[in-house]
Amino acid sequence: MKKEGILLKKNMRKYGMLIALVAIMILFGILTEGILFKPVNISNLIQQNAYVLILAIGMLLVILTGNVDLSVGSVVAFIGAISAVFMLRWNVPVWISVVISILIGALVGAFQGFFIAYINIPPFIVTLAGMLIFRGLTLVILEGQTLGPFDKSFQNIASGFIHGGEISGLDIISILIGIILSVIYVILNFNDRKKKIKYKFQVPSMSVAILKTILIVIVINWFTYCFAAHKGLPIVLIILAVLIVVYSFITNRTIAGRHIYALGGNAKAAKLSGIKTEKVLFWVYVNMGVLAALAGLVVAGRLNAATPKAGTGFELDAIAACYIGGASASGGVGTVMGAIIGGLVMGVLNNGMSILGIGVDWQQAIKGLVLLAAVTFDVYTKSKSRPQ
């Protein structure tokens, strides 16, 4: 029991917000009389919040370095406007427009990253300037008006579904993917457990490990069942899944990921150990530009139009998602899955409160309280983990 208690304390920051997400979903499921858990609402929840989750992945890397990016909302609107001009005014094919838009997003990130990493201007100032620059350019490009609608193939990025044959009204592809993911998770989870035991790391008891695995497998298959019962897997969910896998691998298993954590943990020590901190910081902002561009394309496809007001406040949603998910404001601490869980907490709160008819004013206040509570929890658990 003592061993389990120690592991519980060590993993409180890791699993605390996941438990909170489940609790919030159950609460709103009860309050909305089950509407929250309807398949159509689950699909909408993913599609409506995809932009936050994409931005949160990029913002996490920025926050890991101990910085923030205030420009991402304006970059989202700017890229949406650029893509609309290419597709609707200049009749450029969709896939070429998408590639060019993402490249422009990379250039935006490189522009800001250069001033931050090599000119040593504080990121707050550079990205605040970027927020104003790219919002202004969006207004110039769109001439203050909405531009749309887009071709159906472009809309599918944000609103389309992958749908195969049906059995008893359920999409076969979604069900099969749920089963495949469950098998992969079980194999990876128990392989990881074996490695930890081999190298004498502490692990939960077998009964606890089996219970955790069963619960996660149930959750995976419940979600894929919801998608199967609606229209199939949302295309944007596939994009998100790829991003989560790629960036989890980068942060956990690559030298570049270790350098990002080292830079956020102690910039001077990282530089003295031979890490090219300027280069790391530069590429973190280039990456943020790319993901902001992708989020801009998703938002434009979802709205089926490019609008001057698009992206307003998105930077705050992304930052909040990271902090709620356990990232540290001082840098060096945080995970991709934590940022995703934080984004889902925000999304479920928005969705649940909207179903209940709670006004936007109260929604903002409640989300602010949740953010404050999450950061307070982070500070408290960090203080408890320090040696006395």
The answer to whether residue 338 sits within a structural domain is yes
372-380 long-range Cβ contacts below 8 angstroms, 24+ apart: 374/17, 374/323, 374/324, 374/326, 374/342, 375/323, 375/329, 377/16, 378/13, 378/323, 378/326, 378/328
Q: Tokens 């690559």 correspond to what residue?
A: 254
**Encoding tokens for residue 30?**
């009860």
Amino acid in the structure at residue 229: A
Q: Tokens 């953010």 correspond to what residue?
A: 371
The answer to whether residue 235 sits within a structural domain is no
- Strand, coil or helix: what is 230? coil
Q: Mark whether 258 and 194 lie in a shared domain.
A: no
Q: Mark whether 169 and 110 lie in a shared domain.
A: no
Q: What is the pLDDT of residue 1?
A: 46
C-alpha angle 205/211/214, rounded to 5°?
Answer: 140
Q: Mark whether 257 and 311 lie in a shared domain.
A: yes
φ, ψ (nearest 5 deg) of residue 170: -110, 140
Q: Who contacts 99 (Cβ-Cβ below 8 Å, separation ≥6)?
A: none
Neighbours of 382 (CB within 10 A): 13
Assign residue 68 the CATH number of its domain. 1.10.3470
φ, ψ (nearest 5 deg) of residue 14: -75, -40
Alpha carbons 181 and 268: distance in angstroms, whole number = 41
Q: Mark whether 154 and 272 lie in a shared domain.
A: yes
The answer to whether residue 266 sits within a structural domain is yes
Which structural domain range is residue 26 located in?
A: 2-160+242-385
Q: Mark whether 86 and 22 lie in a shared domain.
A: yes
Q: Who contacts 163 (Cβ-Cβ below 8 Å, separation ≥6)?
A: 171, 173, 231, 232, 233
pLDDT means over runs of 10, the chain (388 residues):
51 69 89 92 92 96 95 97 95 95 97 96 96 96 90 92 84 92 90 85 79 88 92 93 94 94 93 94 97 96 93 92 87 91 91 89 86 75 59
- Distances in Å between the Cα of 198 and the Cα atoms of 10, 191, 195 are 20, 11, 5
The answer to whether residue 237 sits within a structural domain is no
Q: Mark whether 365 and 342 lie in a shared domain.
A: yes
Q: Mark whether 118 and 62 lie in a shared domain.
A: yes
- Distances in Å between the Cα of 180 and the Cα atoms of 174, 189, 356 are 10, 14, 36
Helix axes 123-142, 72-84, angle to 10 degrees: 30
DSSP state, 6? H
Alpha carbons 84 and 148: distance in angstroms, whole number = 7
Q: What is the pLDDT of residue 305?
A: 93
Q: Parallel, antiparallel, or unpaired: how do β-strands 170-171 and 166-167 relate?
A: antiparallel
- What residues does 171 pair with on adjacent strands? 166
- Strand, coil or helix: what is 148? coil
Q: Mark whether 17 and 150 lie in a shared domain.
A: yes
Q: What is the pLDDT of residue 47?
A: 93
DSSP state, 306? B
- What residues does 313 pair with on adjacent strands? none
Q: Tokens 């691998």 correspond to what residue?
A: 249
Q: What is the pLDDT of residue 6?
A: 52
Q: How many domains does the chain have?
A: 2
The answer to whether residue 39 sits within a structural domain is yes
The answer to whether residue 54 sits within a structural domain is yes
The answer to whether residue 98 sits within a structural domain is yes
DSSP state, 386? S
Q: Mark whether 151 and 183 lie in a shared domain.
A: no
Alpha carbons 210 and 208: distance in angstroms, whole number = 5
- Strand, coil or helix: what is 162? strand
